[in-house]
Amino acid sequence: MPGNARIERFIAQSELLPTCSVIVHHGGAGTTFGALAHGVPQVIVPQGADNFDNAAMCERAGLAVVLRPDEFSARTVADSMSAVLRAPRFLEAAVRTADEIATMADPAEVATIVRAYHR
């Protein structure tokens, strides 16, 4: 195992994502939106379910490179990560998205708004 790697059974995304420069993942909602909220650019390899929709959304927003499953290899992942890390536009788009998310109402605020709306 290389000295710059470590294996953990579990690390909460809220602890891990703030330390990431880029994240490679399958495009599930939890990982996608966690990375969005933390302003982390993404390389997404969608597998099924909502993964393809989430990947397309992030690609359109300019904060992700998407690799289709048939494009997946160690080389394409490494090249995609390098592209994301070299091009500031990916980080800029990710940070803009995180800033927008940070301004959104939290669940308690939404509940108050909904209750007031139905009165």
∠30-32-36 over CA atoms, to 5°?
115
- The per-residue pLDDT for 90 is 98
- The residue whose two tokens read 């597998």 is 47
**Which residues fall within 8 angstroms of residue 58, CB to CB, at 6 or more apart?**
27, 32, 36, 42, 44, 64, 66
The pLDDT of residue 25? 95
Reduced to 3 states (helix: H, G, I; strand: E, B; else coil), residue 12 is coil
Q: Which domains does the chain have, with CATH numbers?
A: 13-117 (3.40.50.2000)
The one-digit pLDDT tens for each residue of the chain (119 residues) are: 788 878 889 999 999 999 999 999 999 999 999 999 999 999 999 999 999 999 999 999 999 999 998 999 999 999 999 999 999 999 999 999 999 999 999 889 999 989 888 77
For residue 72, give every residue at least 6 positions away whose Cβ sits within 8 Å of its Cβ, in sequence order, or none.
45
| pLDDT, position 100 | 96
